[in-house]
Amino acid sequence: MRNNPHRVTVSIQAPPQKVFAVLCDVERWPEWTPTVLSVRPMSGGPLAVGSRYEMRQPKLRPAIWQVTDLEEQRRFNWQASAAGLQMKAGHSVKPDGAGSRVELSFEVSGFLAPVVGRLYARLIEDYVGTESKKLKSRCESAAGYATGLGNK
């Protein structure tokens, strides 16, 4: 059984390649979003299909996320599993004038999806919404410039 995906779209005043660079630097997510406590790579190298990461988030158990799909400078998807549950998260960046349009999505499937969907719907919505706002802030702020993501 599949739960309806949670989706948030946000416009960011930064070029798509720079927004995508922030998204793909998953180990640094704890620097810009309070929804992630830590991200630890379990495989070497840059983000790629098959890469695995242990993610710790407030109010949730640690999860192992594996990249399942990557289109350079455009999108990546990853998934994590637990008994009776599969979680998928998507990250898509498209050009939008001089800036970018980003879509973040999260969905759960499996026989526990209806229960988890009801129990965690508000938290999921809050996390996806917070992540989109914090990503916008990171990419449009001086922090993005300080990390080499912006033009001087």
pLDDT band of 142, cuts 50, 70, 90: low
- Sheet harboring 75-82: ordered strands across? 6-12, 99-109, 85-96, 75-82, 63-71, 52-56, 38-41
Residue 144: the pLDDT is 53
Q: Are the C-beta atoms of 12 and 136 separated by less than 8 Å? A: yes
pLDDT digits (tens, 9 = 90+) for 31-80: 999 999 999 999 888 999 999 999 999 999 999 999 999 999 999 999 99
Locate 52 and state its tokens.
């695995």
Q: In sequence order, which ranges of 55-112 are alpha helices (DSSP H)?
A: none
Per-residue pLDDT, 108 = 92
Q: Residue 145: its pLDDT value, please? A: 46
**pTM over 0.85, yes/no:** yes
User: Domain 6-146 has what CATH class?
Assistant: alpha beta
Mean pLDDT of 74-101: 95
C-alpha 124/C-alpha 147 separation (Å) is 29
pLDDT at 126 exceeding the cut of 70: yes
* Counts of helices then strands in the chain (DSSP H, E): 4, 7
Largest CA distance in the chain: 50
Number of other residues whose CB lies within 10 A of the CB of residue 81: 15
Q: Are 24 and 102 in contact (CB under 8 A)?
A: no
Which residue ranges make up each domain of the chain?
6-146
